[in-house]
Chains A and B, each alone.
Chain A
């Protein structure tokens, strides 16, 4: 992405969050995004994932140019290309764990049979098979995070965006979750961007970017 500029306009005053971010990632890259709180990490991730349209600049993912896309095309892009893991999990309380995972498939128009098999496979991978019929409120924070990852992977995305996936987890769970996320690029050739405050998590990435003053600066991986 090139020359990204994004300003939130509100009556209380405009906030310029991104001010000329230039960022290039190769397919299959694993990048960490660090920076102080409120610096715009989530915003940058939303722009990458097609949730937010920047006021200026271009975003290209593979050969999609997000700036020129209609609402419908953006929805398709989010559905088929991106897997988003939210800071707050973003699970639907009314649905069971399995249904939450299947939902992504159902939005993509997958048939019930393959959808169910894929969901079972993913729940197995994140170690939640025996919690499949439980609702998110009956799961622990770590379990919810794993569930959110399973859902993000449902449609085999080319780009996985994880917003502080270990923010609320203890060290053991963090390791487990990161292990899950990191196993992806290898498996599917997909790109992973992880926002984190945790240096040890950032240290696991291949590249690390620090967001500050509206710009992204690549740093050496801390050891």
Chain B
């Protein structure tokens, strides 16, 4: 009997017991849907999320300090920093030109006199000298900055500020109620040293800024986060003083540091080595990367195991359904043999019948599973976008789809082997014996 004839016979066999066929297929369908969904999600987590976090986000970020490197710093997360060393535009240019560097985001910082408003806190807050961190807010997604409440200042705005929990606590608000500081106005003053006919005089440049958000940030030390433009203007005011107002104790480095985004996590160690040879201190969350990676791998293994267990259960279902089919068709198998079917003809028909159940279940299930993964992706993306991060795109995992369908089919074939063998070994005598 040809494969084609065997296939026709097998398909007719499946259709004979539509209820049982549907239930068996459904089990395979659910199992392969589960496996596909879990694998799509976890592979995406491993490759895309890690990749995007790393090539884009904080995981592949290297913090460059305005300081000389400590000789033993590479491969450590937070090394001791060497002596202060100015980080200027030229140095950033050299870093930007290094191999494996995707982007260099300068981080500015300026010390200002901060006058919190009356109001939100229970007690009146003393003014203090604080650091205002300035970055190009268009690249916030790449920086270790997380929005906790409100929104980020608009890029380039000079009258909007985001504050850290350090500031929130300083004004007497508990972090859980941090949104109470939103909408309040802070006064900031940059001091400049002036020569008033032989007398030294400090003149302040006063600005007001509205608190629009609360952030967690690790870009540089500082309680306030503003646009780079706002910080630059304050720096320019200070620098225009006598002897650059040096006497007031401000830092000399044009940049407080920089944030270097490497091309993927794997490039991080090499980029760090090169920045060290340029002559600056770096730090990167390499331990964190390694453990995130390990964690995602474990998640993947666990999810795959769950899916595979489901598939094996479905396979047992196929085996069971096929055994039942063989049992109730003993006479018919005998007749086939009596009219000349070889063992392998029967074997083929029943193997194909099992394979068909697996294939159909795998085909539908894999696509259903991919749909589930897509739906989960939408929810995840909504969250990521809310966090100011790039969304995760689920690629169509072609090898996974093909593998899912092939896997379900192979599983069904394996599960169908015993029933098919049993059918093939039935004697032709079955045609005339029994009821």
Contact = CB atoms under 8 A, between A and B. Distances in A.
Given A42-B432, A51-B428, A108 B340 contact: yes
A75 B340 contact: yes
B335 A107 contact: no
Interface stretch (A22-30, A57-65, A87-95, A119-127): A87-95
Contact of A95 (B1, B12, B341): B12
B340 A107 contact: yes
A80 B2 CA distance: 17
A84 B339 contact: yes
B2 A94 contact: no
Contact of B342 (A75, A84, A151): A75
Contacts of A94: 9, 12-13, 15-16
Interface string A83-123: 01011101111110000000110111100000000000000
A201 to B, nearest CB: 20
Among B1, B342, B428, chain A packs the most CB atoms within 10 A around the CB of B428
B335 to A, nearest CB: 4
B332 A107 contact: no
Interface string B168-185: 000000000000000000
Interface string A48-74: 011110000000000000000001101
Contacts of B339: 78-79, 84, 90, 103-104, 107, 151-152
Given A51-B429, A71-B343, A76-B340, A109 B331 contact: no
A84 B334 CA distance: 12
B338 A84 contact: yes
A49 B335 CA distance: 12
Nearest to A155: B340
A49 B338 CA distance: 8
A75 B431 contact: no
A25 B13 CA distance: 40
B430 to A, nearest CB: 9
Given A71-B343, A76-B340, A107-B345, A90 B12 contact: no
A209 to B, nearest CB: 19
Contacts, number: 92
Contact of A75 (B9, B16, B337, B429): B337
A79 B343 CA distance: 13
A159 B345 CA distance: 23
A72 B336 CA distance: 14
A3 to B, nearest CB: 21
A143 interface: no
B233 interface: no
A46 interface: yes
Contacts of A107: 1, 336, 339-342, 345
A90 B15 contact: no
Contacts of B334: 51
Interface string B289-324: 000000000000000000000000000000000000
B80 interface: no
B16 to A, nearest CB: 5
Contacts of B341: 75, 79, 107
A90 B429 CA distance: 12
A78 B338 contact: yes
Given A43-B432, A79-B339, A90-B332, 19 more contacts: A42-B432, A46-B428, A46-B431, A52-B429, A72-B343, A75-B337, A75-B341, A76-B342, A78-B338, A84-B338, A86-B338, A90-B331, A92-B332, A103-B9, A103-B336, A107-B1, A107-B341, A151-B339, A163-B432
Interface of B: 1-2, 5, 9, 12-13, 15-16, 331-332, 334-343, 345, 427-429, 431-432
Interface of A: 42-43, 45-46, 49-52, 71-72, 74-76, 78-80, 84, 86-88, 90-95, 103-104, 106-109, 151-152, 155, 163
Q: 10 shortest A-B CB distances, which residue pairs?
A: A79-B340, A90-B335, A94-B12, A51-B428, A106-B5, A78-B340, A75-B342, A107-B340, A94-B16, A52-B429
